[in-house]
Amino acid sequence: MKVATVPTKRRKDLIIIAILLVGLPILVFASYEAYQFFARASVEAKPQNVVLSNLTTSSVTVSWTTEVSATGSVIPMSNGLEMSPVIDKRGTGKTKTHYVELESLEPNTSYNFLIVSNSEKYDSADGQSFRFKTAPITAQAPTPNPIHGTVSGASGEDIVVYAMLKDKSAYPVSAIMPRGGNWIMDLSALRTVRDSSLVSVAPSTNFVIVAVSGLQEGAVLEGTFSELFDSNGKLKDVNSLNIGENTSLYLPFPKESFLGSAPEQPIEKAEVGVDVDVDVDVVSPKQESGLLEEEDFERDYQLARDVIWTDILSSGSTVSSPTGADSVRIVNLTDTGFSVVWISEDKEEGYIKYGTSSSSLTSEATDERDSFSSKGEYYVHMVSTSRLLPETKYFFEIVSGKETYDNNGSKYSITTAPTLSSPPPFDSASGDIEGLPDHGEAVMIAYVEDGDGAGTEGKSSEMATIVDDNARWILSIADIRNSDGTSYFEYTSGDVLKLDVVTTFPTDSHEEGIQGVGERDVRIVVNESQVFAKGKVTLLDNYGILGYSTGDPIRFDNVEDIEEPYEVSGGTQIPKTGLFDSTLAYLIILPGLIVITGIFSILKMTKKSKKGNMKDSIQ
């Protein structure tokens, strides 16, 4: 009897099928990538929307956009000769926004320059040569006036943010957004387009903030300084820069700062009485709101199980940090203002009443997150005052919900610092926080501590800022003062920046070397105490698909008393439901089952094939 085997032709067919199954997806993917590559290569990386900003007596910033991601640099010209190229501040990577800072220039001097984009040189845009003139030296001394905020709707570093006067009378100031998502710039660099003199900013000054992430991608904000920013220069939470498609990004820029054809103004609406032929599609209210007619669809509902719900959080507060009067801290003391930070046991409105007499608190200041027309409720409060008199004693009391904290009837008091001259160079620290509670509320408080005996001794006064919704924070530390506020704190490379996260549970202080702190992202991890706070949902004593829970935790003082199938975390019993508690078990067992099933199927098919071949051979 002759045993039959799988014919050679059938083996070849199986091999061809396997190659097609594996190769076709790879071929399709490779073809798509090749198409994308050549499509991108066919688009010229021509500089567009070239803007001059941050103009000073010795520097200027040149920024522009390209339709595709490209490398970018600027070559200054001197007497017709090309000088050394200056690369993008973010490095040599490819981006759609480009940002180059030219420094060490001569005052009141005109310069030409070239833009290099993907190795191609450009000396003009729309017939206008790339040219600027530095500001002349004047007797005016700029005073640091930092502003900062966040941008949403885009990630990475490919974003440039501009701030300018709404009346277009001054060159804009600008900054790039680091990967972390916070930007910071100094309004003391604002200079008029008429004679390059410094601009004085008041609370009523009308501003425009523009964020650019592409040719027609960005966001625009308008308003007075006090409407847009709080007393610490932070963009208020009610004002958000949300990146999206926008064709009017460059309309607010003064023409003197825009190299190329000025952006066209939008067409004004037709006046009343003018005949205009317009085709209008009538849309019903339901269509406009996205609602469908009831007869357009049917809904099927299924009641799985009737459950009696119990409020397991009604037994108390979720705050384990000191609250009320025990949590009050006075920060951000300057010659014109101060801030007050405290924590409340429940979410509630908060503000302070203040004045120069303890018996006459006639002024009020609200939380930095509040707007003129609406006030929010918070656990962590920060209220800031502004436009106060230097070296003047102020009294205040705190109103938090229905409670008033008045320092046992004697009122809180603070004396504003003296006005100082010759501000130090602009510097800042920024970063993010991991582990905040679900409500996300926190205030970052920072101070500098002498670590090497050089510069100012002791520790500085405390500066503070509210942590944003993305757990990001940014602080200006350039103008931080000594402990009594009488002089700027002169910090050196050996000093330490102490950072305290104030939130609804206690946290440990974080230390960061002051050297180069403005060039890196500071990451802080906080952990809530293992002690079960009143009203919190604790670990359950049993659970499972078919199980139930009483809601009462089982606690043990001695870990050795706990037997399987339980494990312990922080002295608390945590039930184990078996092998599938481990994610690794899933990753090992499930693929194993798939492989075993596949092998079984192949063996079964092979067996059938052999039986058929043997039968044919016998016949």
- Same domain for 35 and 81, yes or no, is no
Last residue of some domain: 528, 547, 567? 528
- Same domain for 61 and 31, yes or no, is no
Walk across the sheet containing 339-348 and list its strands. Answer: 329-331, 339-348, 378-384
Nearest 5°: phi and psi at 560? -65, -20
Interstrand relation of 363-366 and 350-355 (parallel, antiparallel or unpaired): antiparallel
Q: What is the pLDDT of residues 15-52, one digit of tens each?
A: 767 666 666 677 666 666 655 555 554 467 899 999 99
Q: What is the pLDDT of residues 328-358, one digit of tens each?
A: 999 999 999 999 999 999 999 999 999 999 9
Residue 315 has a pLDDT of: 42
Alpha-carbon torsion, ordered 553, 558, 560, 561, to 10 deg? -50
- Contact (Cβ atoms closer than 8 angstroms) between residue 343 and residue 325: no
* Dist CA 510 CA 505 (whole Å): 15
- Same domain for 3 and 72, yes or no, is no
In the predicted structure, residue 237 carries a pLDDT above the cut 60: yes
Distance, CA of 540 to chain centre: 36
Q: What is the pLDDT of residues 593-619, one digit of tens each?
A: 666 776 666 666 665 555 555 555 555
- Same domain for 217 and 360, yes or no, is no
Residue 278 has a pLDDT of: 39
Place 239 in a pLDDT band, splitting at 50, 70 and 90. Answer: confident
* Dist CA 438 CA 503 (whole Å): 11
Residue 612 has a pLDDT of: 56
- Same domain for 4 and 69, yes or no, is no
- Same domain for 385 and 496, yes or no, is yes
* Dist CA 51 CA 87 (whole Å): 16
Instruction: Look at residue 62 and tell me if it is in a domain.
Output: yes
- Same domain for 445 and 345, yes or no, is yes
Positive or negative: CA dihedral 362, 368, 369, 371: positive
In the predicted structure, residue 290 carries a pLDDT above the cut 60: no
Instruction: Look at residue 222 and tell me if it is in a domain.
Output: yes
Q: What is the pLDDT of residues 55-67, one digit of tens each?
A: 998 899 999 999 9
Residue 151 has a pLDDT of: 86
Residue 234 has a pLDDT of: 86
Instruction: Look at residue 299 and tell me if it is in a domain.
Output: no
In the predicted structure, residue 153 carries a pLDDT above the cut 70: yes
How many CB atoms lie under 10 A from the CB of residue 187? 23
Residue 480: closest CA among 494, 464, 466: 464
Place 395 in a pLDDT band, splitting at 50, 70 and 90. Answer: very high
Q: Is the peptide bond before 76 cis (omega within 30 degrees of 0)?
A: no
Instruction: Look at residue 582 and tell me if it is in a domain.
Output: no
- Contact (Cβ atoms closer than 8 angstroms) between residue 461 and residue 347: no
- Same domain for 34 and 92, yes or no, is no
Instruction: Look at residue 150 and tell me if it is in a domain.
Output: yes
Number of domains in the chain: 3
- Same domain for 422 and 354, yes or no, is yes
Interstrand relation of 146-152 and 241-242 (parallel, antiparallel or unpaired): parallel
- Same domain for 253 and 318, yes or no, is no
Q: What is the pLDDT of residues 528-558, one digit of tens each?
A: 754 444 444 445 544 444 444 444 444 444 4
Residue 314 has a pLDDT of: 41
In the predicted structure, residue 313 carries a pLDDT above the cut 60: no
For residue 519, the enclosing domain spans 312-528
Task: Burial-class residue 11 by CB neighbours within 10 Å (0-12, 13-18, 19+).
Answer: exposed
List Cβ<8 Å contacts ≥24 apart for 531-534: 531/320, 533/317, 533/318, 533/319, 533/320, 533/505, 534/315, 534/316, 534/317
Instruction: Look at residue 438 and tell me if it is in a domain.
Output: yes
Residue 461 has a pLDDT of: 93
Range scoring the smallest mean pLDDT among 179-188, 269-278, 416-425, 533-542: 269-278
> Which two three-digit tokens encode residue 470?
């993305």
Q: Which residue, chain included where needed, has tokens 């520097």?
A: 59
Q: What is the pLDDT of residues 177-208, one digit of tens each?
A: 876 668 888 888 899 999 888 888 888 899 99
DSSP 292-315: PPGGG---------------TTTT
Kindly state the percentage of the chain with pLDDT values over 70.
Answer: 68
